[in-house]
Amino acid sequence: MVKRGYVRPLDLKHGRGDLTHGSGGRSMVQLISELFAKHLGNEYLGQGNDGAVLPAPTFNSKPGRLVMSTDCHVVSPLFFPGGDIGCLSVHGTVNDVAVMGATPLYLAAGFVLEEGFPLADLARIVESMANAAKEAGVPVVTGDTKVVERGKGDGVFITTTGVGVLPDGLELGGARARPGDVILVSGSLGDHGVAIMSKRENLSFDAPIESDTAALNGLIAAMLATGAGLRCLRDPTRGGLAATLNEIAGQSGVGMMLYEKAIPVKPVVAAACEFLGLAPLYVANEGKLVAICDALDADLVLNAMRAHPLGLEACVIGDVTADDHHFVQLTTAFGGKRIVDWLAGDQLPRIC
Amino acid sequence: MKYIDEFRDGELAKNLGASIAATVQPGRNYSFMEFCGGHTHAISRYGLSDLLPPTVRMVHGPGCPVCVLPIGRVDLAIKLALEQGVILCTYGDTLRVPASDGLSLMKAKARGGDIRMVYSTIDALQIARDNPQREVVFFAIGFETTTPPTAVAIQQADAEGLKNFSVLCCHVLTPSAISNILESPEVRQWGTVPLDGFIGPAHVSTVIGSRPYEFFAEEYRKPVVIAGFEPLDVMQAILMLVRQVNEGRAEVENEFARAVSRDGNLKAQDRVAEVFELRREFEWRGLSVVPYSALRIRGKYASFDAARRFKLDYRSVPGSKACECGAILRGVKHPQDCKIFGTVCTPENPVGSCMVSSEGACAAHYSYGRYKDMH
């Protein structure tokens, strides 16, 4: 009789990722079963094949169209106030699918681990992903892990891909904004970016601020249920509100006029931006929504947003205008006007 | 935000705007230079020119630290990072300043240079302590505001016996730049740049005080009002300048009294004097070679001078022929007068340094005020 080999369980307290965890051997299988499958497991992931077999998507039992989106997550630090790379990688992709008007159905997750990465940290990240996926109601159905040599990665990178179903007849998109529409946001801007910056290695400061990272599919479903004339939804992540609105203005061939006084920014975020020499309109968000909608339906949408926990502070921040130059402009709290332009590269602090 | 919101009150600004409009004399044009990039930024960022009567014109001056940094200096820093393998630390905006061969510090970083952005000289010192086997160079730029922290870093490194830390010193002086502008033929002889007064620096003046400007007021008969960087400060200063012009006065007035005294920060001045001495001359972008306009590290601290340690020879490098940064920095031209403004030269691909920092006249106009050119 052949003795059944004893497999020492993964040391999730002190163990570290090594190259064998990505090489296709037993250690890799062990990492998958003891960590990924344990936390993320569901009937599709459990199929254990190279791909997951999924039922054809339907919306209210009618066939719909597929929406697919993918997002790489390379955030530093990996753990930050209000979240970590795990939940962020779920929220980011769920939101990208949801802002299309689709119901997110499934996620795929790819991990690139750096040799030496503590397994305890990986376990924390995977658990956080599992919780986020559960909360959003979107299972991770397939995944992949690779390990790169020490120095060739930054701890862990996570790529997630999401699939959702979009009912026929619903059209949202960046090219649909029209002059006269209004611009709404679901809450205060810049929380995520400032929370991250407050923990950067070379720049730690104590700001009582947490990342706003959250899945927006519930909020969006509530907005869509009103039947209001929504033109476009976006989550203003990298580049912040400014990048998102410039993108939409360009795609739709319109201009925009924002009202600085109406744009919600928490005092602590405003203060942090002030001393870092940054502008909150350019700082990333991970749980906020920008909506462009027909002016006549603005109240309907606002009420639906404010009735949802993620939209309590929803408000109108500006109008879509006719402008051949597609400028996003701002009426400053001071009463003057200026452009809110794309960012040139990263935001760098001024010297004076 | 306390102590900030008070100086950004839109209602007060409107009142000040109305006061300025009521104070300007009919048929008279007013042309004021805000020397500092911080003021340029505030004017653009808050749309202040919309609140001013059309007869009041603001000329953007050369007080933007990265804008006046000549190509040759950035080349030296890049050389240190790429050829000497040092860890080069510097302040944010400096990373984007265009240098020779289409490079900038940012691009040199992508080519493998170990270039790090720091928020303070203390961070640079810490990097030196953490990397005892590497040479760490702080690329020190800026006016009198950033000079004292560099002096402190050098003295601190000296006290600690930190052998791997040095400074590539490019600190420049505000008063000599103002003299240079006032002496320029455009202002003095031809009058093509009408200048009725200056908004004096905010942060620089906290260090040097208001006394150094008294000479300009007296010698050149130009009023100077030192003002803070908040938008209400700027509006108030403009009102004060208009009044001086109307009354034929040329005095130094201090709007920024909450931070600036006549003598300035004597402790900081002492530190600077201990560590630095005047350079005979220094090349500025836009103003070319200006005598006694910059600082270098004294012999006593020679071992912390990167120029001496790495035997660097400064070589002047001409800028792009099409770029009008020089004329713009002197107030002779507006950004939109430049042929390559907004076409070849944009914040993404700056040709001249005025397009680099949001304090620069070109970048400020491109990023904040471009819509005005449509009409």
DSSP string, B14-53: HHHHHHHHHHSPTT--EEEEEEEHHHHHHHHHTTGGGGS-
Taking contacts as CB-CB distances below 8 angstroms, the residues of chain B near A348 are 92-93, 95-96, 117
| Chain A residues whose beta carbon lies within 8 Å of the beta carbon of residue B46 | 332, 334, 336, 338
pLDDT given for residue A48 in this prediction: 83
Q: What does the buried/exposed string (b/e) look like for B64-79 if buried means 16 or more CB atoms within 10 Å of the residue's CB?
A: bbbbbbbbbbbbbbbb
A345 closest CB neighbour out of B51, B96, B371: B96
Mean pLDDT over B277-281 rounds to 96
Q: In one letter, which amino acid is A340?
A: V
Domain boundaries in chain A?
A: 19-166, 182-339
pLDDT digits (tens, 9 = 90+) for A261-312: 999 999 999 998 988 888 899 999 999 999 999 999 999 999 999 999 999 9
Residue B29 clears pLDDT 60, i.e. is over it = yes
- Which residues of chain B does A350 touch, with a Cβ-Cβ cutoff of 8 Å? 37-38, 41, 92-93, 357-359
C-alpha B131/C-alpha B118 separation (Å) is 15
* Residue-by-residue DSSP string for B138-170: EEEEESTTTHHHHHHHHHHHHHHT-TTEEEEEE
pLDDT of B241 > 90? The answer is: yes
- Displacement of CA A47 from its chain's centroid (Å): 28
Q: A339, B371: Cβ pair inside 8 Å?
A: yes
- Indicate yes or no: CB of B371 within 8 angstroms of CB of A327: yes
A23 touches chain B (CB under 8 A): no
Pairwise CB contact (< 8 Å): A334 & B369: no
Name the residue facing B51 among A267, A336, A339 (closest C-beta): A336
Residues 140-179 of B with CB under 8 A from A: 141-143, 145-146
Cα separation, A179 vs A189, in Å, equals 24
Residues in a beta bridge with B102: none
B36–A352 C-beta distance less than 8 A? yes
Which residues on chain B are in Cβ contact (under 8 Å) with A327?
A: 370-371
Q: How many CB atoms lie within 10 A of CB B9?
A: 16
H-run or E-run covering B90:
strand B87-90
Q: What is the ipTM of this complex?
A: 0.82
The DSSP symbol for B172 reads B
Helix or strand (DSSP H, E) at B115:
strand B114-117
Q: Output the six-digit token pair for B127.
A: 């990097």
| Interval A126-160: pLDDT, tens | 999 999 999 999 999 999 999 999 999 999 999 99
pLDDT tens digits, residue range A196-245? 988 876 666 777 889 999 999 999 999 999 999 999 999 999 899 999 99
Smallest CA–CA distance, residue A76 to chain B, in Å, is 16
pLDDT band of residue B326 (cuts 50, 70, 90) is: confident
Q: Which residues of A touch B229 (CB under 8 A)?
A: 352
Pairing of strands B87-90, B136-142: parallel
Residue with tokens 């001086």: B244
Chain A CA closest to residue B374: A325
Residue of A nearest to B6 (CA): A334
| Nearest CA among B285, B202, B188, B191 for reference residue B34 | B202
Q: What torsion, rounded to 10 degrees, do the Cα atoms B198, B203, B204, B206 define?
A: 110
Q: Which of A122, A93, A95 is nearest to A109 (CA)?
A: A93
Q: Which chain B residues have a beta carbon less than 8 Å from that of A274? A: 1, 4
Mean pLDDT of B277-295: 93
Cβ <8 Å between A351 and B66: yes
Output the furthest CA–CA distance in chain A (Å, rounded): 87
In order of their start, the domains of chain B are 71-173+263-309 (3.40.50.11740)
Query: How many Cβ atoms sit within 10 Å of the Cβ of residue B375?
Result: 4
CB contact under 8 A, A327 and B45: no
Taking the Cβ of residue A332 and every Cβ of chain B, the question of whether any pair is shorter than 8 Å is answered with: yes
Which residue has better confidence, B200 or A343?
A: B200
Best of B7, B12, B39, B45 to disrupt the A interface (most A CBs within 10 Å) is: B45
Backbone angles phi, psi at A2, to 5 degrees: -85, 130
Which of A260, A241, A242 has the alpha carbon at shortest distance from A331? Answer: A260
Neighbours of A130 (CB within 10 A): 21
pTM of the model: 0.88
Mark residue B68 as left, alpha or beta (left: phi above 0; alpha: psi -120 to 50; beta: remaining): alpha
Strands (E), chain A: 58-59, 62-63, 65-73, 79-80, 83-84, 103-114, 140-148, 156-166, 182-185, 230-234, 255-259, 290-293, 315-321, 328-331, 337-339
Q: Which of B93, B143, B146, B74 is nearest to B359 (CA)?
A: B93
| Chain position carrying tokens 């080999």 | A5
The whole-angstrom separation of Cα A145 and Cα A173 is 33
**Residue of chain B nearest A260, judged by CA positions:** B46
Closest-CA residue to B154 (of B308, B304, B309, B307): B304
Angle of CA points B183, B185, B188, to nearest 5°: 60
Residue of A nearest to B124 (CA): A202
- Residues A19-166: name the CATH superfamily: PurM-like, N-terminal domain (3.30.1330.10)
Contact of B1 with chain A, judged by CB distance below 8 Å, is answered with yes
Among B residues 333-352, those touching chain A with beta carbons less than 8 Å apart: 346-348
Reduced to 3 states, what is the DSSP secondary structure of residue B284?
strand
The residue of chain A nearest to residue B39, with distances taken between CA atoms, is A352
Which range has the worst mean pLDDT, B54-68, B136-150, B237-251? B54-68
Q: Which of residues 3-62 of B touch A (CB under 8 A)?
A: 4, 8, 10, 13-14, 17, 36-38, 41, 44-51
Fold of A182-339: Phosphoribosyl-aminoimidazole Synthetase; Chain A, domain 2 (3.90.650)
Q: Which pLDDT does position A352 carry in this prediction?
A: 54
Give the minimum alpha-carbon distance from A239 to chain B in angstroms, rounded to a whole number.
14
